[in-house]
Structure 1
Amino acid sequence: MSPGHLPLDVEYRRLSRDGEVMSGTVPMVRLGRLAEQLLSADQQVEVELGFYLRRKRPAVIGRASVTVELTCQRCLEPMALTLDVRIDAMIVGTEDALVSLEAHEDGIVCEDKRISIADLIEDDLLMDLPISPRHEQCAEVYVTNFRSVDEDEGLDRPEVNRPFADLAVRVADMKAKKKDV
């Protein structure tokens, strides 16, 4: 492990009991699901994590930050986007233990003694990705290209054949004639 790189996994119970804080980087290639969404995975995620006990349970709080390269969904050109997320979660041993957490608390299930740093940060980074990424200058492209109704008045419109347009008038005339008879 080179200086500044965080380990693959940590003993979260010991770190929480001792109130440990760690910071460093995690290679993007360790975050497989996130890396799949990007144009390249050669970035380093800057991570700061503090472990502590909350209601006698292991918990982690911190942040993760990285600038990623995505494809703009309007112009299809590469674009840079900075993801900066806050991490705040309880670490529980089973899926059933998630139910006991308060409604506002996030939980991470770890059945082992060690938890992957990637597991602690990847979901929050994924949720920070936009559904349809686009450059700022591309955001309003289509909205500004619409014509207003007033601009359309001078356009030559083809004549539309409406075979039933006068049907309502003819039916009304027929009803009026029947009443007269």
Structure 2
Amino acid sequence: MTQHPGKPAGLTDPREVDLFEFARSGRQAAGVVRVSQLPRMLNEVPAEAPDRDTGFRWQAEGTTQPELQDDGTEGPQPYLRLAIHGAAWLECQRCLTPYSQVFNVDATYRIVNTEAEAEEFPLDEDEVEVIVGSRQFDLIDLMEEELLLSLPLVPKHEVCPEVHESLVSGADGSDGDEAVPDEAREAGESERLNPFAALESLKRDAPGGSKH
């Protein structure tokens, strides 16, 4: 029997999980989700990437922990732990070529019943996030959300194989901005941004022009 990626033993469909039962019974599941199953993540992968449909291995575990209830008694509260490991191709913002970005997500969630409960949850719980559970919870959507949150602010190689030509040479083939000191570059940009300064200079030099 061939196991479909993203549909591991123990979960009929990871897009429709009874999250409360999953946590209450302490169930575990694992599988592979591919970038092609994550449309928003796929948008981040450049068209020229060597492989746009890489896979992420994931593991999910449901647990309960005793917590104090509103009525003063202790009761089991549902939790979910989710781990995602893999890599996807992104575009380096420095050399404008694809590179492989590694992702390692390990998150723990407190499962609540309503949005109102989620909003009331104390924000100082840095190690625990809050999610609203359901009987048909989309685990794949949660994985995609975590991967998107893990995207680097500025995707780039640690060391670029080469720097894009537009960054190292000007239109005439001379060395570009990287070889120009910051002060000189700022002065040049100032002149380009203020064409009226050059016009005033021409007026002063012209016969009969005002000279101060």
TM-score by length of 1: 0.70
Residues 13-50 of structure 1: CA deviation (Å, up to 9, x unaligned): 11111111221112222222222212364122100111
Q: 1:50 aligns with which of 36, 54, 61?
A: 61
Match runs of 1:27-176 below 5 Å:
27-39=34-46, 41-54=52-65, 55=67, 56-103=76-123, 104=125, 105-110=128-133, 112-138=134-160, 145-148=178-181
**How many percent of aligned residue pairs carry the same amino acid?**
23
Change in 2 beyond 3 A, CA 1:3/1:119: closer
Superposition CA RMSD, Å: 3.4
How far apart, in 2, do the equivalents of 1:99 and 1:28 lie? 31
- Listed as ranges, the gaps of 5+ residues in structure 2 are 8-12, 68-75, 168-176, 185-197, 205-210
Structure with a larger share of its residues in strand: 1
- Aligned partner letter, 2:146: D
Q: Deviations over 1:61-97 (max 9, x none)?
A: 1310121011111221111111111121122222111
Structure 1 residue 129 displacement after superposition: 0.7
